[in-house]
Amino acid sequence: MKIGAEQNAGAYRRYRAESTAQRWPRKKSMDLRRKRFWKGFCVCLVVFVVANGMSLVCRTDGGLHTLLGTHIVTMDAITRMGFPFVVWQNGDFVGAPIFSPLMLFWNLAIAFAASFGVGAVLSVKTKAPGNSPG
């Protein structure tokens, strides 16, 4: 059996836990909104990563054949990568690779801004279709 101060400390801890739960109740709707946000954010970010990978195939002279080494004869065979801006280019008349950190920054900024926007739109709470007034 607890005596005096120990008993009061236990009661105080229980009181603090109960009052904290009453002051800041954890709502399931907030958890659902957070999950929706992160799902939308991640899906949009993956779409941008895939688009950057596909830009290597689509923007390269000769397409996939040049990348695989089974290319049809192309004059310069310029290889480019980046969506929406070209970040890396190899080939051209001189053949020196060109990398643009500024365009990489803007590609990342656009990807994160779009992902944040999609996540924010998906996290907005919508009404159930059957609860409309009228």
Tally of domains within the chain: 1
Structural domain contains residue 3: no
Q: Give the pLDDT of residue 134.
A: 46
Structure tokens of 26? 């954890």
Structural domain contains residue 44: yes
Structural domain contains residue 59: yes
Q: Which residues contact 100 (CB under 8 A, 6 or more apart)?
A: 85, 86, 87, 88
* Cis amide linkage into residue 84, ω under 30° from 0: yes
- Cα separation, 94 vs 72, whole angstroms: 21
Structural domain contains residue 47: yes
Structural domain contains residue 119: yes
- Cα separation, 21 vs 9, whole angstroms: 18
Name residue, tokens 């944040």.
116
Which DSSP string do the residues of the chain spell out, in sequence order? ---THHHHHHHHHHHHHHHHHHHSPPPHHHHHHHHHHHHHHHHHHHHHHHHHHHHHHHSSTTTHHHHHT-PPP-SS--EEE-SSS--EEE-TTT---EE-HHHHHHHHHHHHHHHHHHHHHHHS----GGG---
Q: Give the pLDDT of residue 59.
A: 83
Structural domain contains residue 18: no
Domain that residue 63 falls in? 30-124
| Per-residue pLDDT tens listing for the chain (134 residues) | 555 555 666 666 666 666 555 555 556 666 788 888 999 999 999 999 999 888 888 887 777 766 666 666 666 678 888 999 999 888 777 767 889 999 999 999 999 999 999 999 988 865 555 555 54
